[in-house]
């Protein structure tokens, strides 16, 4: 009884076979079929390799939402070199709430040489080249996001030569924590002093001939400091043509949460518009000489997430490539063979011509 049930089950399974076997005596091979099969297998191999490279790659997904975090502090990372001695310049932040951030809390003033060494000039040239490519190829920003914490440091390398030249500039570097409102970070003549109506700078104690706001921005970023991220103002260098010159940078900051397979950080992207002019009160150009960075925060927050193709999707696409090419080449081969047979048959029929009657001696034809 058990053997009978087993035979019935086996026969039922055989009836469900979707891949019936064809005897070799019924299979006919041809040179054209072999050529098409070779082309199909080559195409399958190439597309499979390309699909595997796509499967290994990742892409960045951007999501936008309203920034609801208004109570935390915003960090500003600064590394700027000004072509004036440190005792002549002062840097501070004044926001819309008239809150002054003392520069002594996080900024360090270091005497430096404004002219770069050969190695530093090469670093600056490469950084400016990357900046120009980023303005043309916006998709390169995804590559920078994915290479964060993996690429080389973007900080200015130390001098490799022991220059005996006395310091003629001041390097202002460090970080500040400010309120998440629009503000103005500025570097101008004289140290900043607070007073009830705001703040002021001791510019009267500095000789006017020593004014020189030529500067180099080695690094400027907002939020968490992420090595490998290149910001829009990194590597910028401006040379003043007049003592009374104002440099203005209008910055729009966008909070950004970066989530990749390597890091997870809260950083900020920003766009910038530059403007510079000479202060001449007689010509109607009013203002104060110095470097002014006016920043404003966007109400939107961007979440950048690195994504990867799941294995099941890769498997389905791979099956589609193999099955699709196999079926398509089979249909094309059959259609081509049908066309060739029609043309060949017409050629054969056209080769037969009617034969004229030939009389025989017995009177028959």
Domain spans of the chain? 30-59+309-336, 71-252+287-298
Average pLDDT estimate for 49-57: 84
pLDDT averaged over the chain? Answer: 79
Evaluated on CA atoms 318, 322, 323, 327, the torsion sign reads: positive
Average pLDDT estimate for 218-240: 86
Higher pLDDT, 341 or 125: 125
**Contact in structure between 40 and 329 (CB atoms under 8 Å):** yes
The answer, yes or no, to whether residue 263 has pLDDT greater than 70, is yes
- Determine the pLDDT at residue 293: 92
pLDDT tens per residue across span 164-189: 778 889 999 988 888 888 888 988 88
Alpha helices (runs of H) in the chain, residue ranges in sequence order: 2-15, 31-56, 118-136, 140-146, 311-351
The answer, yes or no, to whether residue 309 has pLDDT greater than 60, is yes
The answer, yes or no, to whether residue 358 has pLDDT greater than 60, is no
- Determine the pLDDT at residue 217: 92
pLDDT tens per residue across span 70-99: 788 888 999 999 999 888 888 888 887 665
Instruction: Provide the β-strand partners of residue 266.
Output: 257
């Amino acid at each position: 009884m058990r053997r009978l049930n087993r035979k019935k089950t086996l026969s039922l399974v055989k009836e469900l076979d979707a891949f019936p076997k064809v005897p070799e005596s019924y299979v006919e091979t041809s040179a054209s079929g072999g050529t098409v099969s070779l082309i199909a297998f080559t195409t399958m191999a190439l597309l499979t390799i390309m699909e595997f490279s796509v499967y290994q790659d990742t892409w960045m997904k951007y999501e936008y939402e309203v920034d609801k975090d208004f109570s935390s502090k915003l960090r500003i990372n600064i590394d700027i070199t000004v072509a004036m001695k440190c005792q002549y310049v002062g840097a501070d932040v004044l926001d819309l709430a008239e809150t002054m951030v003392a520069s002594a809390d996080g900024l360090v003033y270091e005497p430096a040489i404004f002219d770069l060494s050969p190695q530093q000039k090469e670093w600056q040239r490469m950084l400016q080249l990357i900046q120009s490519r980023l303005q043309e190829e916006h998709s390169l920003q995804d590559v920078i996001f994915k290479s964060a914490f993996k690429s080389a440091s973007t900080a200015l390398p130390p001098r490799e030569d022991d220059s005996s030249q006395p310091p003629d500039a001041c390097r202002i570097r460090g970080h500040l924590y400010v309120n998440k409102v629009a503000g103005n970070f500025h570097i101008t003549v004289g140290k900043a002093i607070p007073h009830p109506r705001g703040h002021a700078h001791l510019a009267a104690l500095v000789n006017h001939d020593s004014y020189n706001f030529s500067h180099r921005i080695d690094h400027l970023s907002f939020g968490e400091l992420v090595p490998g991220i290149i910001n829009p103002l990194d590597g910028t260098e401006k040379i003043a043509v007049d003592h009374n010159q104002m440099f203005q940078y209008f910055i729009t900051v966008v909070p950004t949460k970066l989530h990749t397979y390597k890091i997870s950080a809260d950083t900020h992207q920003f766009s910038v518009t530059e403007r510079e002019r000479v202060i001449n009160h007689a010509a109607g150009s009013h203002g104060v000489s110095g470097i002014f960075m006016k920043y404003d925060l966007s109400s939107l927050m961007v979440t950048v997430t690195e994504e990867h193709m799941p294995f099941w999707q890769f498997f389905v696409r791979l099956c589609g490539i193999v099955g699709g090419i196999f079926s398509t080449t089979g249909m094309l081969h059959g259609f081509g063979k049908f066309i060739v047979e029609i043309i060949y048959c017409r050629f054969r029929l056209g080769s037969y011509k009617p034969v004229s009657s030939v009389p025989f001696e017995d009177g028959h034809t």
